[in-house]
Structure 1
């Protein structure tokens, strides 16, 4: 069983939650580069549980068939896809199938520097009360919508807080990344297809700039296809 799988399955008691600095997902994220997605790692994709086209089991079957090493499904304000995928993986492993490591994930809307942005929550404990305001299918309102509150809730649930696609907002990514760092975010989505091509490919100049800024700040970098369609190799 790969390192961290016991944590990923969320069988731990809440008293056993690790701090962000100790999180087992960190070791995976520290290996990420422009070549990691979509063939090996994918930490941003969607199912029918929010606005995607794939059923949860169909998505994890595809990820397994394509021999991904690690994956997180990040439906908007929902973790409904997680348990069906986890159950399918358990059955597949008993048959000797080599499967990806599944990490819990969710995409959460929040306000950062007065700008509406998305945050990827990764590797948290599903069902943790800290994330209840964010997992009902709709964005939070009032104080819980603030980026700092979202970061705090993700950390309280044992997860990592990642600024999603920093180059897609009305404010520049440099401003947003700096502010996210000040608020204690763990990282940002460095490798992303801003051109939204049929077959995923990171957008060189903007992704390289985002990656470098995150590195300079000592933050983690992630990658993901942001798939909403039927093919994990595209958006």
Structure 2
């Protein structure tokens, strides 16, 4: 596993992300959502209920600087599976604030190792409930630590920042990020839909750079199918 660049061996999540398309979210895949463990409105269990009701195949909860929702959600999904329910594959996740090109951006850490002490130590600055300071705030350091934890680093909602998304994606690629959030509802509609043109442009740039594409509702409210 690389420490400073993209993961060198195929990551188990990479194959899933390779199939992401404009219609994957919100009913099939969701790699960006929040709970009460950061600034969301759903308990982990209630989010799990909605994920099952939607028929999601893969899910990652990405609370800001917290992984507290992961354990209770994993337990809840396991209990439902024991009862015979179809449940999504749950991937570890956390949303991290950092500086890229002097711009404050968010990076999604996905699929990192939850079990090893080494991985836990690598992500310690980003699990304290608030944004890191100092060296840990630099995007290069965020990427390094995510990879050290066995995860993938993806630039969240590239078109929501003060700098052009094309510049930020190029900078992210140069630092070794593994991909970006290609499909996102910038209009924040009641039911999630990818924003035309901008999402297609982001997806095309990611493809050109050989990067992975993700999608997610970025849910903060009470409905997992919207924001």
Residues 112-135 of structure 1 deviation map (CA, whole Å, 9 limit, x = unaligned): 000000000000123611000110
What is the aligned partner in structure 2 of residue 86 from structure 1? 74
Are 1:201 and 2:193 counterparts? yes
Aligned partners of 2:220, 2:138: CA distance in 1, in Å?
A: 26
3-state SS in 2 of match to 1:179: helix
Task: Return structure 1 stretches of 4+ with deviation > 3 angstroms.
Answer: none
Alignment of 1:110-149 (within 5 A): 110-126=98-114, 128-149=120-141
What is the aligned partner in structure 1 of residue 3 from structure 2? none
What is the aligned partner in structure 2 of residue 13 from structure 1? none
* Aligned-CA RMSD value: 1.1
Q: How many residues align?
A: 218
What is the aligned partner in structure 2 of residue 152 from structure 1? 144
Residues 169-214 of structure 1 deviation map (CA, whole Å, 9 limit, x = unaligned): 0000000000000000000000000011111110010000000000
Tell me, which stretches of 5 or more residues in structure 2 are unaligned?
Answer: 1-6
1:230 to 209, 218, 222: 222
Once the two structures are TM-superposed, the CA of residue 66 in structure 1 deviates from its matched residue by 1.3
Once the two structures are TM-superposed, the CA of residue 21 in structure 1 deviates from its matched residue by 3.5
What is the aligned partner in structure 2 of residue 38 from structure 1? 26
Question: Please, what TM-score do these two structures have when normalized by structure 1?
Answer: 0.91
2:165 to 159, 173, 176: 173
What is the aligned partner in structure 2 of residue 215 from structure 1? 207
Once the two structures are TM-superposed, the CA of residue 28 in structure 1 deviates from its matched residue by 0.3
Tell me, which stretches of 5 or more residues in structure 1 are unaligned?
Answer: 1-18
Question: Please, what TM-score do these two structures have when normalized by structure 2?
Answer: 0.94
Once the two structures are TM-superposed, the CA of residue 94 in structure 1 deviates from its matched residue by 1.3
